[in-house]
Amino acid sequence: MIKIVSAGLLAALMIVGNATAQTYVRYEQNGMASWGELKGDTIEQLSGAPYLEGKSTGKSVKRADVKLLAPVEPKLVFMTALNFKSHIGDREPAKYPGLFTVPAHSIIGPEDNIVRPAESKNLHYEAEMVVVVGKHAKNVPLEKAGDYIFGVTAGNDVSERDWQRNDIQWLRAKGTDGFNAVGPVLVKGLDYTNLEIEGRLNGERVQGQNSSDMLFDMNYMVYYISKYFTLEPGDLIWSGTMGSTKKMEPGDVYEVDVEGVGVLRNKVEQGK
C-alpha cells in the first residue's frame, strides 16, 4: 500500500532539497497570536491559517523575536492506536484502525513544557507524525484522500500508562490538558507516506521508523474517518507510535524529529 524509502532526518526548521515545500508557523509576539510563512530566519505574517487560505499581510518578523506556538488550531483531534507492527508485538494487527479522539485543549506547542500531573507516576512519550486536514471532508473516496491533507507536523502523544490501563476510557490518559505537543512547524509539500520519524529521550534515540510502515496510512485514515465524522480544515490525524515507550521524569527532554519538519522538543516539568 505504501512505498518504503529511507532518508536522513532534519534537525532544523529549514527544508533542505525540497523546493516545493512551504513551511508555516503560528507564533506569539506582544501577547498576540499570528500565522506566518517561515522563510529562512524571517516569518512573513499571514492573515489567517494557511489551510484557511490566509494571505500575506506584508508584515514580517524575525524568527528569533517570537515564541512559536503549536502550528495547528484543530476542532477535532483523531489518534490511532496500535498502527505500527513494532508497537503491537506478537499481537495480530486489527482489521480496522484503532481510532480515538482527545480534546483540542490537550494540544501544546514546541516551546511549552509537558506538565506531569501531581498524581501521575507513569508518564510515557510517543513519537508520531501528524497530518493536518486541508478542507471539508465527508465520505472521501480512498483514491482522492490525499487531496484533503494539507500538510505535516510532528507530535508527542504523551500517555499516562497507569490511567490508560485502569480507566474505562483513554480520555484522561491521552487527553489531559498539555499532553499532546505539536510542532515546531507545519509543512506543505512533503510525501507523508515516506517520512522518517525519530524519538529521542535526553538526546538518546529510543524510537524510530518510517511512515511507510504504518498499518493504515494517512490516506486510508482520511477515507476511514470521513465515513463516520466530518473533518474540517485544521483537524488533526495522528499516525500512532512505533516500538516501545518508557517513562519520562521531570527534567527530561523528549524530541520528535520528523523528516522535513524538524525537531519538536519539550521538557517535562512536575505539576502541583
Q: Among residues 62, 171, 174, which one has the least CA distance to residue 126?
A: 174
Looking from the CA of 214 toward its CB, the CA atoms found within 13 Å total: 28
pLDDT of residue 136: 98
Strand partners, 36: 25, 45
Q: What is the strand order of the sheet 114-116 is part of?
A: 114-116, 262-270, 253-258, 196-201, 204-210
pLDDT of residue 3: 32
Q: Which residues of the chain have pLDDT under 50?
A: 1-17
Q: Among residues 29, 56, 12, which one has the least CA distance to residue 187?
A: 12
pTM: 0.91
CATH number at 77-270: 3.90.850.10
Boundaries of CATH 3.90.850.10 in the chain?
Answer: 77-270
Q: How far apart are CA 11 and CA 1, in angstroms?
A: 29
pLDDT of residue 19: 55
Strand pairing class (180-188; 107-108): parallel
Q: How far apart are CA 126 and CA 244, in angstroms?
A: 9
pLDDT of residue 94: 79
Q: How far apart are CA 169 and CA 190, in angstroms?
A: 34
Boundaries of CATH 2.30.30.370 in the chain?
Answer: 22-68
Query: Residues 22, 187: contact at Cβ < 8 Å?
Result: yes
22-68 topology per CATH: SH3 type barrels. (2.30.30)
